[in-house]
Structure 1
Amino acid sequence: MSKRARLWRATAGLAALAVGAGTVPATAAGVRPGWVVAVVDQASRRVLVVAGAEELTGYRGPDEEPVVWSWSADTAGDLGDLDPRRSWELPDEAKSRVRDGRRYLVATASGGLAALVDTGTGATAWAVDTGQLANPHSAELLPDGNVAVAASGGGWIRLYAASLGPRATAHAEYRLPGAHGVHWDQRARLLWALGDDALTALRVGGTAAAPALTAERTVPLPEPGGHDLSPVLAEPGRLWVSTAGHLWRFDPAADRFTRVRLGSEGAERDIKSVGDEPRTGRLLIAAPDHAGPCSWCTSALTLHRPDGSWRLPGTHLYKARWWPSWGSGA
């Protein structure tokens, strides 16, 4: 087994799973549609999509690891012009989005890269290098094919006219100190943006070729340090918001934050990503474990409802996302 082969250990009755280092095809034979997990591993500089715990029976060697799909800008042949050795440094986002029946990976890296990747072909549909100082932390695909990017170092939300082509750089910009998260709410047709101290609803105007962003309203956070922003899938329209100290559920209808208690103060602190799986109610959380070389990463993912953990020794995980209906086009 190679040095980069990893073994996930599951506790609280969860099965073990392992992730290998080799490149895997865009789809894996025998993997049925269902909820899987994507992790951003800064050690291997890859996004890894792995089968859900209920589908696993244990580690059986590197040729039988339950990796559904993997991607890295380092091995993407169509990204050489954007210097991925620099721009893909410290990858920090991996979202699954479907548009026109095709599934895409929406990815960013602190080194400056933001990319939209067709998971069926592995081809990059769009990418931009925002520069190292911008420190992109999240991105979102909009229905018209454009891509919103949140950059904490740059202090902005940009809506790139990605629909114009694979290297389109035209964009609208909204200034937001500490911009860390961005999410498109299809029901309200609003682009939600999370910064250090506020959650802002942005109205998208203009055209696909020349987009515009206008703040519709801004809601102060209950405490500073906004980090992750994601939809509450079991309650459409509501949002998960993590801050430096706690986890919150936000109700846009009332502009109200409700604290979500996870059993201990420590479990609620410095959450890098959070998401729920509607069919089981499980929460998947990534937060620093302070056991590795970086203060912001972890080698363990935490589950709540029911509680448990998945360990991947040797990795530097930053975020983890549930990916719904893998292979079904949904």
Structure 2
Amino acid sequence: MGEAAGDGAGVPPVLLTEQASKRILVLDPRVRVWDPAARPEVVKWAFSPVGDARYRDTRADESWVYPSEAKARRYRGRTFLLTTASFGFVGVVEYPSGRRYWATAVGPGDDLFNPHTAEMLPDGNVAVACSTGARVRLYAASLGPHERRYGEAELKGAHGLHWDRERGVLWAMGDDELVAYGVGGTRVRPALVRRFAVPLPVAVPGKSAGGHDLFPVAGRPGRMWVSTSASVFQYDIGTGLFAQDFAGADRIARKSVKCVGDDPRTGQVVTTVPEKGLGETWWTTTVSVHRPESAYELVGGGIYKARWFRASTVG
């Protein structure tokens, strides 16, 4: 079970990639309408590398555009946030100090590679999925905060990553398939070895599934949440099947879901879906909560992803 960032054993804080203000936010789950301008106390923690000397070499003014991922991990007794931004930033940030475990800028500072998510491995190295770049990279981040050495594998539309501790594989999701990679080489010179792959469910034959978010199902070990352009599934690793037999599927399984995840203590699920009329077509001001149905609202927001702040242990 993951460790929550908040106090008590109730609903954990909510972790957002907030693109309108270019920040990662940790927000108070007891407040349903977050208005940081009127009530700054609803923001429990915030991160941006812009202007932070610890991240100067990442060219954050250029690379920290459209933060696209934030998820919490425990590694060697410390909590870290893994974060990416579409114009190249990738970082593993200690919580709550903001200290740099590792960070880099992928690509030339534009959206050529589009880092979409990251994952930490038990040896301290860090995997990155680059959607436009069609590749998964495994950086030798354990060597130091500025390390740029990596191994990589091609994956069309790489969007999702999850380290499977039980099976010792890195799951990666692209436009059309879910792939299990073994880790080869060494910690210093890592490599990714494709083990096997399964095609994602498609709504229209001959069309791309549009794989998007990949996240472990906290309430059902051995399953992973999978969101595609058309719907939301749980992939059962044991059977190799994509299922929609989960509680709340009638409300959770819908098109254009950008993120999905459940809290192991409450069973509540969070998702985000774009809404019209905002600064970008993929933004929303609403975090949907399921089981039971409710919602959070961020006044003036441009939310991309939302996750419960519970840190799962990777090493």
Deviation at 1:141, TM superposition (A): 0.8
- For 1:60 and 1:220, locate their aligned partners in 2 and report how far apart those are by CA, in whole Å: 42
Partner of 1:284: 270
Deviations 1:100-141 (A, max 9, x none): 000001000001010011113211111111122000100001
Contact 1:291–1:298 under 8 Å retained in 2: no
Deviation at 1:68, TM superposition (A): 2.2
Partner of 2:28: 51
- For 2:62 and 2:200, locate their aligned partners in 1 and report how far apart those are by CA, in whole Å: 33
Q: CA RMSD in A?
A: 2.3
Instruction: Determine which of 154, 170, 176 is the counterpart of 1:197.
Output: 176
Q: Secondary structure at the match of 1:108?
A: strand
- For 2:199 and 2:70, locate their aligned partners in 1 and report how far apart those are by CA, in whole Å: 26
Structure 2 CA distance for partners of 1:171 and 1:110, relative to 1, 3 Å: same
Aligned pairs, how many? 296
Contact 1:73–1:84 under 8 Å retained in 2: yes
Partner of 2:200: 221
- For 2:100 and 2:228, locate their aligned partners in 1 and report how far apart those are by CA, in whole Å: 32
Contact 2:34–2:297 under 8 Å retained in 1: no
Contact 1:59–1:65 under 8 Å retained in 2: no
Instruction: Determine which of 272, 281, 304 is the counterpart of 1:318.
Output: 304
Which structure 2 segments of 5+ residues have no match?
203-208
Partner of 1:88: 64
Deviation at 1:66, TM superposition (A): 2.9
Q: Secondary structure at the match of 1:65?
A: helix
- For 1:110 and 1:189, locate their aligned partners in 2 and report how far apart those are by CA, in whole Å: 28
Task: Supply the AA of the counterpart residue of 1:108.
Answer: T
Instruction: Determine which of 74, 83, 99 is the counterpart of 1:123.
Output: 99
Per the normalisation by structure 2, the TM-score is 0.88
Per the normalisation by structure 1, the TM-score is 0.84
Task: Supply the AA of the counterpart residue of 1:298.
Answer: T
Structure 2 CA distance for partners of 1:56 and 1:135, relative to 1, 3 Å: closer
Structure 2 CA distance for partners of 1:297 and 1:197, relative to 1, 3 Å: same
Equivalent positions of 1:101-140 (< 5 A) are 101-131=77-107, 132=110, 133-140=112-119
- For 2:266 and 2:185, locate their aligned partners in 1 and report how far apart those are by CA, in whole Å: 40
- For 2:80 and 2:271, locate their aligned partners in 1 and report how far apart those are by CA, in whole Å: 22
2:233 counterpart of 1:248: yes
Equivalent positions of 1:174-213 (< 5 A) are 174-213=153-192
Deviation at 1:57, TM superposition (A): 11
Structure 2 CA distance for partners of 1:292 and 1:218, relative to 1, 3 Å: same
Deviation at 1:313, TM superposition (A): 2.2
Contact 1:38–1:94 under 8 Å retained in 2: yes
Q: Secondary structure at the match of 1:39?
A: strand
Partner of 1:263: 250
Contact 2:283–2:304 under 8 Å retained in 1: yes
Q: Secondary structure at the match of 1:126?
A: strand
Deviation at 1:52, TM superposition (A): 2.2
- For 2:167 and 2:260, locate their aligned partners in 1 and report how far apart those are by CA, in whole Å: 22
Contact 2:33–2:297 under 8 Å retained in 1: no
Contact 1:150–1:180 under 8 Å retained in 2: yes
- For 1:256 and 1:289, locate their aligned partners in 2 and report how far apart those are by CA, in whole Å: 31
Deviations 1:198-239 (A, max 9, x none): 000111122211111111110000121000000000111210
- For 2:306 and 2:20, locate their aligned partners in 1 and report how far apart those are by CA, in whole Å: 14
Task: Supply the AA of the counterpart residue of 1:235.
Answer: R
Structure 2 CA distance for partners of 1:297 and 1:68, relative to 1, 3 Å: same
Deviation at 1:262, TM superposition (A): 4.0
2:275 counterpart of 1:306: no
- For 1:63 and 1:291, locate their aligned partners in 2 and report how far apart those are by CA, in whole Å: 25
Structure 2 CA distance for partners of 1:280 and 1:184, relative to 1, 3 Å: same
Point out 4+ residue stretches in structure 1 off by more than 3 angstroms: 55-64, 260-265
Contact 1:33–1:325 under 8 Å retained in 2: no
Structure 2 CA distance for partners of 1:230 and 1:33, relative to 1, 3 Å: same
Contact 1:56–1:66 under 8 Å retained in 2: no
Deviations 1:168-220 (A, max 9, x none): 11111010000001110111111000000000011112221111111111000
Q: Secondary structure at the match of 1:79?
A: helix
Partner of 2:125: 146
Task: Supply the AA of the counterpart residue of 1:42.
Answer: Q
Which structure 1 segments of 5+ residues have no match?
1-27
Partner of 2:7: 32
- For 1:281 and 1:96, locate their aligned partners in 2 and report how far apart those are by CA, in whole Å: 18
Instruction: Determine which of 150, 174, 187 is the counterpart of 1:171.
Output: 150
